[in-house]
Amino acid sequence: MWRYFPDNYMWSYQIVRMISQSYFGGGEVNEILDAASKMELGDFESFHREWMNTGHKALSKANDAMDKGNKETAREAYLRSANYFRTAEFFLQPDDERKIPTYLKSVESFKKGSELLDHPPKVVNIPFEHASLPGYFFEAPGQKNGPMMVMFGGLDSTAEELYYGPAQFLNARGISLLALDGPGQGGALRLHHIHSRHDYDVAGTAAYEWAVDNLDVDRDRIGVMAVSMGGYMAARCAAFEPRFKACAIWGAVYDYNDVWAKRPDNHPLAKILQHIFGVEDMSAARAKLQHYNLRGVADKIKAPTYIIHGEDDHQNKVDNAYNVYNDLTCSRHLKIVPKSSPGSSHCQVDNITETYEMYDWIKEQLEK
């Protein structure tokens, strides 16, 4: 993966992530590079400041365009600003008073932009525990009683982010998408205080049953997918919810405890991990992590399963993909993007085209 900051993988990954999403309305490459050029490496305040500044500039352009009745220009600017604000919130610690307002600014901008799309998504709230799981239903144009994928993000993803690529790829193939903030994610955590859980299949089943009762989709052609840490979540959902017709794992996680065993307690995402679990320290978080593995779980999956993973993934090593694949007893497909090729980094942010085969595979499964 190309590194804007040669000596800092984590910051560089966020830059490449944004550039990847820019192709789908999540930014503009030169705005992204301009913001990065003004940051002081290692200074998280500068990271937040520059993304906020870039987000506000895009938001101003959006509002100005709306005032003039130029909805197309406004739409694009709102969608860019939403993703800039999302990134500005990324490294903010859970107790930072700016975290929730920044998150809400991102969501508000996204909703304003998505309402101006040719096919606006439906805002959804799926009853869960004491509150609900927020998200969006991106219905494939012209589809009635058609196929659908339920999708969760990863450790740090939001439902809004899943528009910048996945929703568009699936809709283009005639497949609707129910993009959700699951337990420990997005608004489910920040607004409703629903923490992550190792038995993520409970959320998967809630999403499936809500979709069947409330959306015009074919109950026999609903699959599940997730990205990054979501690789664990999707597998868990498919293992214990047999009604899912297909499972797509975009970045495998076989043992999330093992991933964090290699990270220090002062890792930049450590306090965020604690927040996701609803615990006060890393000792308690590590105790929770011991339950996040697919031993004795992956072999219960009956639905056809697709795994894509980068050989040069620095966050979840490629062994995760091999271990999940080798435990599967269902129809299975494994794609490893070799280290020598772009797309070999975490979740193919350095070449999103490597994921196209996964979407083609999903289409094939849900057409059956």
List active site positions: 228
187-206 core/surface letters (b: 16 or more CB in 10 A; e: else) = bbbbbbebbbbbebbbbbeb
CB atoms within 10 A of CB 17: 23
Rg (CA), the chain: 19
CB atoms within 10 A of CB 123: 14
The side-by-side arrangement of strands in the sheet containing 217-227 is 122-128, 131-138, 176-180, 146-152, 217-227, 247-250, 305-310, 332-337
Q: Is 365 helix (H, G, I), strand (E, B) or coil?
A: helix
Angle at 299 between CA 150 and CA 156, to 5 degrees: 40
Judge whether 105 and 54 are in contact, CB under 8 Å.
no
Judge whether 228 and 349 are in contact, CB under 8 Å.
no
Say which residues have a Cβ less than 8 Å from residue 155's Cβ, sequence separation at least 6.
184, 228, 229, 269, 272, 273, 276
Could you give the maximum distance between any two Cα atoms of the chain, in Å? 59
Q: Which amino acid is at 200?
A: Y
255-275 core/surface letters (b: 16 or more CB in 10 A; e: else) = bbebbbeeeeeeeebbbbbbb
DSSP 252-318: --SBHHHHHHTS-TT-TTHHHHHHHHT-SSHHHHHHHHTT-B-TTTGGG--S-EEEEEETT-SSS-T
Residue 22 has which token pair?
Answer: 């820019």
> Going by DSSP bridges, is the β-strand pair 131-138/122-128 parallel, antiparallel, or unpaired?
antiparallel
Q: Give how far Cα 200 sits from Cα of 166, 279, 292, 293, Å.
A: 21, 18, 10, 11
